[in-house]
Amino acid sequence: MNMRTILHSDLNNFYASVECLLDPSLQGCPVVVCGKKEDRHGIVLAKNMIAKKAGVKTGMVLHEAERLCPGLKCVVAHHDLYLKYSRAVRRIYLEYTDQVEPFGIDEAWLDVTCSPKCEGDGVKIAEEIRKRVKEEIGLTVSIGVSFNKVFAKLGSDLKKPDAVSVISKENFKSIVWKLPASDLLYVGRATKEKLAKLNINTIGQLATYKKDILLNKLGKWGEVLQQYAKGQDVSPVRKYDEREELKSVGNSITFYRDIKNDDDVFALLILLSESVCSRMKRAGFRYASTVELYIISDKLERTLRQMHLSAPTNLSGDIADAAFKLFKKHFSWDKGIVRGLGVSVSGFTCEQQIAMDDMCGQREKKEKLEEAIENLRNRFGHDAVNRGIIYTDQHMLDIDIKGAPSSLSSEVATANPLQTAKY
């Protein structure tokens, strides 16, 4: 196989950069993009470089960010505008190759191995794209050029903003291997901790570690990560219009206040589960056999757990019950309070196993009831019918749970799973 030329392009401080582009008075000021102040006091969703240097971090509540950075300018997020600019930038990418694989709204991989532009020279193409995005769109990008997707992603992080970095077959050991293991794509907090217990702190240490021990401690995933560290990632860059098989459907929410008791948790899980069920059916799936729960605490600690159901289901009540069991098992209130929750389902099937409540017709009645509720909501709006538990807090009735961003995922989500209301 001929060596590939892969680019990873990352729009710098994307949300904040768009806001500064549209409002010149923000230029030169520390800027954060946040939710509405009445919704969780305005959580920081994004920040520009000036705010970042002052210590502002994504996920902070606004008053904390303002304390760290006097003179901070706060703007409310305009997701429709971010999508518009993201599409404009991707149109530039598509002039160089049809192999453009988005990685979130502000990042994308490009396979330019056979690009007729600049005769496939990755550095020339990257520099041309960087200049065009700046001149035609008004935003900046950092681009990594490499021979695989993982190292191209690493390359785009090396120099920010507005830069091109090259990681080649010849130089990757001197550049990549000295970086922290957590810089490697798909090494999250839990994996980082497991690697640290093995005294693996850099990518180079991961690359040269004994394979049998990695397999024993991390399973097959340990072997995959070691291949990434060695530069052996061979995953393809998908074509822009290529629809990958859907593997999970989910939704999440950051509530307007901290969640402090089981009743609030269960009410929100009901809302999320109803939304997930609706989306699952619209996506063409009949039943799901796995439920996954995502919890983020007030300390921004993230917990992700899943369970396999005794029988596949399409009932929101079953999904909520499973999610709540996961919550009770894996979260203790003495650890703190809850800031956000997410629910997703996977393991889709067209078949339904027969259980005891099926035999006496209970499941069929529940399915007909949920179908009737869905029909009423489609005709008269989501608020036409609500469960009694939702009326315990007026804000729950006001949540546009159906309109919140969904997670229709074909691969494991690894970055900022609770960015705005997205899971």
Active-site annotation, residues: 107
Residues 6 or more apart in contact with residue 360 via CB below 8 angstroms:
none
Residue 119: burial class (beta carbons within 10 Å; 0-12, 13-18, 19+): exposed
Spatial separation of the C-alpha atoms in residues 60 and 300, rounded to whole Å = 9
Torsion over CA of 172, 175, 180 and 182, rounded to 10 degrees? Answer: -50
For residue 82, give the H/E element and its range. Answer: helix 79-93
Q: For residue 42, what are the CA distances in angstroms to 3, 106, 257?
A: 47, 22, 11
Are the CB atoms for 211 and 223 separated by under 8 Å? Answer: yes
Smallest Cα–Cα separation from 97: which of 83, 108, 82? 108
Lookup: tokens for 316: 């929101």
Residues 6 or more apart in contact with residue 208 via CB below 8 angstroms:
none
Q: For residue 50, what are the CA distances in angstroms to 13, 27, 71, 143, 260?
A: 10, 10, 11, 21, 34
3-state DSSP call for residue 251?
A: strand
Q: Looking at the DSSP assignment, which residues form a beta bridge with residue 143?
A: 9, 164
Max intra-chain CA distance, the chain: 69
Q: For residue 310, what are the CA distances in angstroms to 148, 276, 277, 344?
A: 41, 19, 18, 17
Q: Rounded to 5 degrees, what are φ and ψ at 206?
A: -65, -40
Which residue has tokens 């990434």?
228
Spatial separation of the C-alpha atoms in residues 151 and 7, rounded to whole Å = 9
Sign of the alpha-carbon dihedral angle for 218, 223, 226, 228: negative
Are the CB atoms for 343 and 289 separated by under 8 Å? Answer: no
Q: What's the start-to-end Cα distance of the chain, in Å? A: 37
